[in-house]
Structure 1
Amino acid sequence: MSQPRILDHRESITIQASSDSVYELVSDITRTGEWSPVCTRCWWDDDAAAGQMGSWFTGHNELPHRTWETRSQVVAAERGREFAWVVGGDRVRWGYTLMPAGTGTTLTESWDFLPGGIAMFEEKFGDDAPAQIADRTQQALDSIPTTLAAIKRIAESSGSREGDRS
């Protein structure tokens, strides 16, 4: 019998900054390259709708063996509480939830490989789909702690707090 596949994951970190300032940071997708080990840059497809529910953005991703771009749609944008998007409209949901924690914020990053993503991998890769899904899953699991640590460092830096509007 094969091992069950992990198709969702959540990990948290406590940051000594307000929920509003952490939200401002993680919802500014143009800064993603500062903390993501894979997504080197992002831009809003329509600046007028930037950061709002339903808005779309493009991400440029790089690994040693491949480079690609994805389009994602914002599916949660609640200041100080949650910011999330779905890659390709139905493939993978990434997000951040924020909870007050004493004088700081607990930031949780989540990743969910959705049925639409699994179907796309099965269609694209055929018999190799399980290996490709396992590879992408491992990449996500490996990158989340690195991402959270970098967001914490940035949010707690004095430069980030100078712009804190909360």
Structure 2
Amino acid sequence: MAANDTTPLFESRADIHVNATPDDVYAVVSDLPRCGEWSSECTGGSWVDGTPATVGAVFRGENLRTDDVVSWAPVVRGTWRTESEIIAAEPGRAIRWAVRDSTGRAQDSVWSYEIEPADGGSLLVHHFRMGTPTEGIGKITAGMSPAEYRRFVTEWGEKVAADLRETLSRVRTVIEKSV
């Protein structure tokens, strides 16, 4: 990526219709410790600072990645933790969180759920954007040749896109069973 390039390293979004009100959808997706019920990697976690699901609150996620995920690349395998800071919380509309680095600084890696009324229910959008490489991606790609780097970015982007779709399908089931 060129120094003046503003194209994000990764950006993906997926959406799904949910038979529930925006407030009901938000109540579920903003309860991040429950994410293990629907996420393909996050197995749950806990709020570690601030008022849960409000701007500035910090969530520590427990994650699990299998060996077959972009298997050739040196990504973290097994269990690991992340910390994320809520950067936007609008009940019934949106929640966004930025992954923090090892010093606790929010990185240019933002996940979100956005909700709007649609067809007697809600349109739920799951979005991920990483503008510049995070501390973790920097470690993974250090030492890769330009061709390996391009391959990694392509394959990781495809993995994230598939994860977003799978997560939305699972979370819709959780929401619709609870209303």
Contact (CA 8 Å) 2:12, 2:129: kept in 1 or not?
A: yes
2:113 pairs with 1:113: no
Contact (CA 8 Å) 1:30, 1:43: kept in 2 or not?
A: yes
CA–CA separation in structure 2 for the residues paired with 1:17 and 1:153: 11
> Of the candidates 67, 81, 91, which is equivalent to residue 69 of structure 1?
81
- SS of match in other structure, 1:69: strand
Contact (CA 8 Å) 1:90, 1:114: kept in 2 or not?
A: no
**1:9 alignment partner in structure 2:** 12
> Of the candidates 140, 146, 152, which is equivalent to residue 166 of structure 2?
146
Instruction: Give the letter for the 1:72 counterpart.
Output: S
Contact (CA 8 Å) 1:52, 1:77: kept in 2 or not?
A: yes
> Of the candidates 103, 113, 126, which is equivalent to residue 96 of structure 1?
113
**Count of residue pairs brought into register by the alignment:** 154
**1:56 alignment partner in structure 2:** 58
Give the CA RMSD over aligned residues: 2.1
Identity %: 29
Shift of 1:9: 1.0
Contact (CA 8 Å) 2:9, 2:133: kept in 1 or not?
A: no
**1:83 alignment partner in structure 2:** 95
CA–CA separation in structure 2 for the residues paired with 1:9 and 1:21: 24
| Structure with more helix by fraction | 1
For normalisation by structure 2, the TM-score amounts to 0.78
Instruction: Give the letter for the 1:127 counterpart.
Output: G
For residues 86-143 of structure 1, what are the alpha-carbon distances to aligned partners after superposition, in whole Å with 9 as ceiling and x for unaligned? 11111421001001003100000001012152x6533553232725444432321121
